[in-house]
Amino acid sequence: MRLIRLSVIRWWRNRKNLKKALLQRIMVKNKTSAFDSALRFLGYRALSRKELTEKLSRKGYGSEEIKSVLERLETLHYVDDHSLADEVFACYKKAGGYGNLYIFRKMKLRGLCCTSRLSYEEEVESARILTEKKRSAMERSGRFLQKAAFLLSRRGYEASVIAAVLEQEKERQEHF
């Protein structure tokens, strides 16, 4: 222990890198187990296998240790990508204002596979509601249709949905 402290002091004084083995011995003393770290991460929010793997590897755990922890967490049903994917999709669907492309992109970033989709009618209705919410801000500039198209595109709506909503808006403007 004294040797480790002296080495650390010398390293700080000389600003040279510690040998890797010595640094690992220092870290092992204060390191919590990978399982405990994973439970701490899962305490904040539900995570996918990919997210948990990234967090644990950033923490410095080895790939074999991470793999065994993930298997244990799956047997305990703390990590379940299929149910998490369903929950995330339902959350985006309930929130509204997002198209299939946006939802799929966000889920892919989390390492989730999405098997559900918004139907065409649901997507058109969601896009129409979004344009209604943003109407006053977009009408002030005078280029409502163009701004609505950009907004819907950023929110992940497909081109056919955007065209349908813009067609409805053109008809609405002609009546008024």
Q: Is the confidence at residue 67, as pLDDT, over 60?
A: yes
Mean pLDDT score across all residues of the chain: 84
pLDDT at position 18? 52
Assign residue 13 a region: left if phi > 0, alpha if psi is -120 to 50, beta otherwise? alpha
pLDDT at position 149? 92
Residues in the chain: 176
Give 84-139 pLDDT, tens digit per residue: 999 999 999 999 899 999 999 999 999 999 888 999 999 999 999 999 988 887 77
Q: What is the DSSP letter of 18?
A: P
Q: For the ranges 13-17, 37-41, 160-164, which has the lowest average pLDDT?
A: 13-17
Average pLDDT for residues 31-58, to the nearest whole number? 91
pLDDT at position 140? 74
Assign residue 8 a region: left if phi > 0, alpha if psi is -120 to 50, beta otherwise? alpha
pLDDT at position 81? 94
Nearest to 102 by CA among 87, 123, 81, 84: 123
The predicted model scores a pTM of: 0.74
